[in-house]
């Protein structure tokens, strides 16, 4: 997707790096493997990560060697 924003690629890489180091939970539940990350440091980053999680979940990818469909999400802030 071309956003027209000159730093979009840099921002995307930074977001992914933040997501990959976040603590979270992984658990099987009702035919799914739920991967739920803690919120990111800013509301803006958390919203972007949640949208990415929605897109990844929509792919209905099956975790290799299982019948569990991956389901991604972000925990609610307390």
The pLDDT assigned to 29 comes to 94
**Interhelix angle 8-21/43-58, nearest 10 degrees:** 80
The pLDDT assigned to 5 comes to 52
Residue range 9-67, pLDDT digits in tens = 778 888 899 999 999 999 999 999 999 999 999 998 999 999 999 999 999 999 999 99
Confidence of residue 8 (pLDDT cuts 50, 70, 90): low
pLDDT at 2 over 60: no
The pLDDT assigned to 59 comes to 97
* Cα 74 to Cα 12, 24, 29, 39, distances in angstroms: 17, 8, 16, 6
């Amino acid at each position: 997707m071309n956003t027209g924003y000159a730093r979009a690629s840099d921002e995307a890489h930074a977001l992914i790096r933040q997501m990959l180091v976040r603590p979270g939970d992984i658990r099987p539940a009702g035919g799914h493997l739920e991967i739920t990350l803690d919120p990111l440091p800013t509301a803006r980053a958390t919203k972007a990560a949640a949208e990415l999680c929605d897109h990844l979940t929509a792919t209905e990818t099956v975790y290799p060697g299982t019948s569990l469909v991956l389901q991604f999400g972000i925990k609610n802030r307390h």
